[in-house]
Amino acid sequence: MSNADLQTRKNAATPRGVGVMTDFYAARAENSEIWDVEGRRFIDFGGGIAVINTGHRHPKQVAAIKAQLDSFTHTAYQIVPYEGYVSLAEKINDRTPGMHAKKTAFFTTGAEAVENAIKIARAATKRAGVIAFTGGFHGRTMMGMALTGKVAPYKIGFGPFPSEIYHAPFPVELHGVSVHDSLKAIHNLFKADIEPTRVAAIILEPVQGEGGFYQAPVEFMRELRKICDEHGILLIADEVQTGFGRTGKMFAMEHYDVHADLITFAKSLAGGMPLSGVCGRAEIMDAPAPGGLGGTYAGNALAIASAHAVLDIIDSENLLDRANVLGEKIKARLNEIRKDVPQISDVRGPGAMNAVEFVDPATGLPSPEFTQKVRIAALNKGLLLLSCGTYANVIRFLFPLTIQDNVFDEGMGILESVLRDAAKA
């Protein structure tokens, strides 16, 4: 089986809309490395788009899934429930920020978690409006797309979208949008588009993921909380990409001194098994009537077993500390390289949710070209990198937090050499 043959078959059998970044095919993966069908090895700094915080095939995760496989795979939780779902909800209720009474429901994908958070917010407030942010990404379902604050490639040709969704600019000082600008825009929405008493929720990612790894400033989150409290609006933190240790805390909302009413999560929760969820204030979570929430596969038993193992691994291997150590290392190295690579305009990110942003030094404008050049050169040397950002000029780092020191150093060595070469070219 060759990559070239598979590529031909893929192009004939699957639609181009499922855009695929690479042209090699996975054969196996272990911790922070992936091997393709021709035996070539890649260091994985993409983590299956933020899913593999605990590494590929962690032995504890594999054992948990195998044990569950030997008991049962699927009963449909809503038909015949199981303890693992309940105890995982208990753990999530305990671990999410805030001491208030909470409840958790599980789903399958991140987009589904977001959909359900909006359903729950609407049911609890009996209001329709939702405010989201430019550059935000919330999934590819109809509501996910409506909330997403980026047209290309996510929304093109797919409308009309659900109504009553409004976007305010996300504060990114680097691109000239201050916290004040963003708050002013929300108040303008209240003047021009929707009265605050008809707004059910404000949804944001504490650190925008696909949008470019921009973190919401502390004072912004505080002000959003104030607006929500003043008008009876719910604050939803979409932690699908930020959750489960990535930012050096279990949840990114722990970086703030205010709480969200609802949190959505997915990705690294179950380390590659499809599982997502919504956790929130108990009384809000109980607003939808029985049968209003759920899904055939929602809270699948194998995925739940995997999630228990993931939480155990994060604790037993001190992965929150590890995220901070790795994050500091990568930021220090990039800041050093930056002295010789004028295309680097920013190095940032809490914990191990780090990114490097590129501009054209001649114009100061975002450089998606340089970003692509670096990403492709790295891939050719066996390092898998992901780009992101409204201007496609950011490389984000999502390596497993369990990455071995020598593999991390090897990956950083490749990154450094391609950055230096690209700057000279």
Does the protein bind ligand PLP through residue 387 (CB under 6 A)? no
Does the protein bind ligand PLP through residue 330 (CB under 6 A)? no
Kind of pairing between the strands at 383-384 and 41-44: parallel
Q: With respect to ligand PLP, which residue has the nearer C-beta, 270 or 337?
A: 270
Does the protein bind ligand PLP through residue 137 (CB under 6 A)? yes
Say if CB 107 and CB 295 are below 8 A apart.
yes
CB of residue 161 vs ligand PLP: minimum separation in angstroms? 16
Does the protein bind ligand PLP through residue 210 (CB under 6 A)? yes
Does the protein bind ligand PLP through residue 114 (CB under 6 A)? yes
Q: With respect to ligand PLP, which residue has the nearer C-beta, 210 or 346?
A: 210
Residues 46-105 within binding reach of ligand PLP (CB under 6 A)? 49
Residues 232-251 within binding reach of ligand PLP (CB under 6 A)? 238, 240-241
Q: With respect to ligand PLP, which residue has the nearer C-beta, 252 or 323?
A: 252
Residues 251-270 within binding reach of ligand PLP (CB under 6 A)? 266
Residues 6+ apart with CB under 8 A from 94: none
Burial 370-407 (b: 16+ CB within 10 A, else e): bbbbbbebbbebebbbbbbbbbbbbbbbbbbbbbeeeb
CB of residue 246 vs ligand PLP: minimum separation in angstroms? 11
In the β-sheet with 102-107, what is the strand arrangement from edge to edge? 102-107, 276-281, 262-265, 234-238, 199-204, 129-133, 165-168
In the β-sheet with 41-44, what is the strand arrangement from edge to edge? 26-30, 33-36, 41-44, 383-384
Q: How far apart are CA 100 and CA 94, in angstroms?
A: 10
Burial class (CB in 10 A: 0-12, 13-18, 19+), 91: middle
Residues 6+ apart with CB under 8 A from 127: 197, 198, 199, 200
For helices 83-95 and 301-316, give the axis angle rounded to 10 degrees: 40
Q: With respect to ligand PLP, which residue has the nearer C-beta, 202 or 240?
A: 240
CB of residue 410 vs ligand PLP: minimum separation in angstroms? 27
Does the protein bind ligand PLP through residue 111 (CB under 6 A)? yes
Q: How far apart are CA 25 and CA 34, in angstroms?
A: 10
CB of residue 411 vs ligand PLP: minimum separation in angstroms? 22
Q: With respect to ligand PLP, which residue has the nearer C-beta, 183 or 263?
A: 263
Going by C-alpha positions, the residue among 316, 315, 351, 309 that lies closest to residue 331 is 351
Q: How far apart are CA 247 and CA 93, in angstroms?
A: 19
Q: Which of 46, 84, 139, 299 binds ligand PLP (CB under 6 A)?
A: 139
CB of residue 53 vs ligand PLP: minimum separation in angstroms? 13
Say if CB 301 and CB 308 are below 8 A apart.
no
Q: With respect to ligand PLP, which residue has the nearer C-beta, 269 or 323?
A: 269
Q: With respect to ligand PLP, which residue has the nearer C-beta, 138 or 348?
A: 138
Q: Which of 48, 84, 97, 209 binds ligand PLP (CB under 6 A)?
A: 209
Alpha carbons within 13 angstroms on the beta-carbon side of residue 270 total: 27
Question: Per-residue x/- marks for ligand PLP, 282-301, CB under 6 A?
Answer: --------------------
Question: Per-residue x/- marks for ligand PLP, 16-55, CB under 6 A?
Answer: ---------------------------------x------
Q: How many residues bind ligand PLP (CB under 6 A)?
A: 15
Per CB under 6 A, the segment of 16-24, 166-174, 205-213, 277-285 that binds ligand PLP is 205-213
Q: How far apart are CA 203 and CA 305, in angstroms?
A: 29
Q: Which of 46, 47, 55, 110 binds ligand PLP (CB under 6 A)?
A: 110
How many Cβ atoms are within 10 Å of 148's Cβ, its own excluded?
26
Per CB under 6 A, the segment of 14-22, 177-185, 204-212, 243-251 that binds ligand PLP is 204-212
Q: With respect to ligand PLP, which residue has the nearer C-beta, 205 or 357?
A: 205
Per CB under 6 A, the segment of 64-72, 110-118, 179-187, 412-420 that binds ligand PLP is 110-118
Q: With respect to ligand PLP, which residue has the nearer C-beta, 166 or 265?
A: 265
- Residues forming the site for ligand PLP (CB under 6 A): 49, 109-111, 114, 137-139, 205, 209-210, 238, 240-241, 266
